Amino acid sequence: MSIPILLAAFLLADPDPDSTASILGASPLGQAGVRAFEASLLANVDPLAAPAKLPFAADDKGSSLLSYTYAELGYERTNIDLIPDDSNAYYLKGSFGFLKFFNVVAGYERADTDFDNIKVDTYWIGGGGHFSILPQLDAVGEAIWLYNNADGDSFSSDSDTGVSLYLGGRWMALPWDRGGLEIDAGYRWTDLDALASDTITTTWELGVRAHFIKFLSVGVYYAFIDDDRRTTLNVRFSF
């Protein structure tokens, strides 16, 4: 049995408020011993409760409380300044987290607009990293490779490749039992000939995500893409 646990047992055994044990129990050393005793007791009651999951125990440095393994289905509507019409898109995206700080991503999107009956299929694959600055705040980064194919009434099928870089953050601002309200913000740089006013675009994005239960969340995002504006609604299943 460890010294902190023996100390806690001694402190908790004497009910006299004027005794030496009670005075010591009110000190920082005594309180630390009691916390160690409580953690040991909970771990013995439930062997599956790892210390990192206890409410008064610290997580591993840099590890995140947010999930980076998920499947996401979403809808996007973009107001394109260059043409007199909006584009509508549906996409499917997947992410797989590994080695605690990294994840791989891949996805597909189908976008179209009534202007010239343009349709664009986009595929992407890449990787990302994340680091927990605070227990509920992550810094995230991502680099992806993109391929798209566009078709319209006034031009034949045309394809292009490009890259996209992202830097931002995820903050679980309002946690609750089995869920919480997450706020995301970030900056993205993209070089790709797509349904946008410019080939090279810079995007500032802000969004909120409501985690209703551990595995299901809904997100709403708004993005400033140079002269264009995009609204996104998605459903995410985390694992």
Give mean pLDDT, residues 165-188: 96
Q: Which is higher by pLDDT, 199 or 147?
A: 147
Q: How confident is the model at residue 55 (pLDDT cuts 50, 70, 90)?
A: very low
Neighbours of 63 (CB within 10 A): 14
pLDDT for 57 equals 32
pLDDT for 167 equals 98
Q: What is the DSSP letter of 69?
A: -
Q: Where are the domains of the chain?
A: 3-53, 70-238
Topology annotation, domain 70-238: Lipocalin (2.40.128)
User: CA angle, 23 as apex, 18 and 29 as ends, to 5°?
Assistant: 165
Neighbours of 178 (CB within 10 A): 11
pLDDT for 38 equals 52
Give mean pLDDT, residues 79-107: 95
Q: Rounded distance, CA 231 to CA 109, Å?
A: 15
Q: Rounded distance, CA 26 to CA 42, Å?
A: 22
Alpha helices in the chain (DSSP H): 3-13, 20-25, 28-45
pLDDT for 63 equals 67
pLDDT tens digits for range 6-31: 444 444 444 454 554 444 445 554 55
